[in-house]
Structure 1
Amino acid sequence: MPELSPTPKRRGRLPRFLAAFVVLCAVAGYLVVQYVTGGGGAPGCKVVSGKGDGMTYEFTPEQAVNAATITAVGTGRGMPERAVTIALATALQESGLRNIEHGDRDSLGLFQQRPSQGWGKPEEILDPTYSADIFYAHLAKVTDYQDLPLTVAAQRVQRSGFPSAYAKHEQDAKILAAALTGQSAATLTCEGRQTATSAAGPEAVRSALARDFGRDALEPAGAVVSGAAGSTPTPSASAGSGGDGRTVTLSVPEETAPGAGRSLRERGWQLAHWAVANASALHIDRVSYGGRQWAAGNTNSQWRPGGEASGAGTAKDTRTVRIVTAQ
């Protein structure tokens, strides 16, 4: 009996090879998307332009926390909104607003700063508060940075091998900065999906506030911790906890950073948006300010008219932000 031709086997290998190649490409594409968006599934947060031009940006809870930290550090330094926009655009390009532990050579963190280039120790650079602060410190030394094109200002700090890459993130960074500095009211929302590994409760909220805004920035505002109902208020770093054990009542601090020139309303909306950005991480259920309320899990998680029954968060109250945790 003659031997069978090997040709059919060879023909069968080609489709299998092509199929495997398609699967490999799909996996690679998925990993790239996860890297760019920060992973964790579909974006759970959204910011809309306060100018009514229809511009929006969707991002993940992880990115929201980091963006809120970068903004808080900048306003705490008295940096203008333009500086925050530059910082956010830089972090979007360098890390996708993710605090990553790898990068080109020894680059680390939100801004891919290098210990070998004098940016700090690895553990410092991986602290978002530190990395944002040292970025602003370098940006402040750039002459007339507010008047420079964003990509030029960012490049003079970063010294990147891709100096024009920052420009593509400018529009997203602008609407993020407007919301997170409080310049645009009720424009940032999140689904507020909780994670099992995240911190929770009023104490976690107070710790995170002190981390991002600094105790020195919040103490002069006269914020208090009231504890159980009827107790005597005592000084606190950031907020007051209501009798239900789940509510943080935060007094909007007066201006503390020299030359910042921000209104009470802007500072209030910054704190309210900060709370929403941290909703998943800190198990925050509701946030009220200036007659508007955000609640986790509602359709589109929009800010809606209304406040707490006590009056905090009503339209006339611009001095109090009320944060209610899920536990």
Structure 2
Amino acid sequence: MTSRGVEEYLRHLTVERGLARNTLASYRRDLAIYLDWLEAAGLGEPERVGPQDLAAFVHFLGAERMPPLAVSSIARVLSAVRGLHRFLAEEGRTAADPSRDLRPPKLPVRLPKAIPVEQVTAIIDAARIGDEVIALRDVALLELLYATGARVSEATALNVDDLVDRDVVRLFGKGGTQRIVPVGSYAQDALGAYLVRSRPVLSARGSATPALFLGVRGRRMSRQAVWQVLQDAASRAEVAASVSPHTMRHSFATHLLAGGADVRVVQELLGHASVATTQIYTLVTADTLREMYTVAHPRAR
């Protein structure tokens, strides 16, 4: 089914808003789903649609369509449909916008993926295997990621001078923001061993650089290199879960909250602008508590 109103809307998106070709193709596909439903429902053109019809369309997308769309896909389709009806109302083709009060379904909260303390320990221990120079660096790197909750970009951007003291590191976050984060004893020891016994060897292989973590050629480590270090260590530790540098950050926050840390303290340590971003980790902790309760309490099941 084709619609004059839809074609005019897509032309408007092309000429007036200059949307990219791929974006326009996505709009066209989503609106085709809508037009096919209108035809099957006997409604014809979008100009004849009312709020109740749109509610029925949302139900169709999530329950009757085969296969039903995921919540994120429903939200995307409805965004295109709302844009269409807003355009038709602004152009005077309809007296009102029937999608004005249409709300997309809530997207599910994506809980951060943390791994247990035992797996973090196993991964760090596995990094000790192999050439001593590289092993000392890898252990120091992984200990620092877990000790500070640093983003991988923050860790690779570190210079030696950013180790303000033995137990404090200065991290530079998004937008150039700066924060001071404590470094625990395990990371302190690992960094000390790396700086004394490993970094000088790596540094001699390249030109002088202030970077804290160096690759095998004496240059600043890349984010991809950090990812590979973690992947290799996780594989040797036989940790089945998908692990990335961000997993260490998630685990840092989750383990702190599980240990009783205040959410605003964790917010500061992570460098979140809003505490709302940090509070998602409290959901992870609550899920863990619920799981333990269900297993342990005699009347929980």
TM-score range, shorter-chain basis?
under 0.3
The structure whose Rg is larger is: 2
TM-score (norm 1): 0.23
TM-score (norm 2): 0.24
Higher strand share: 1
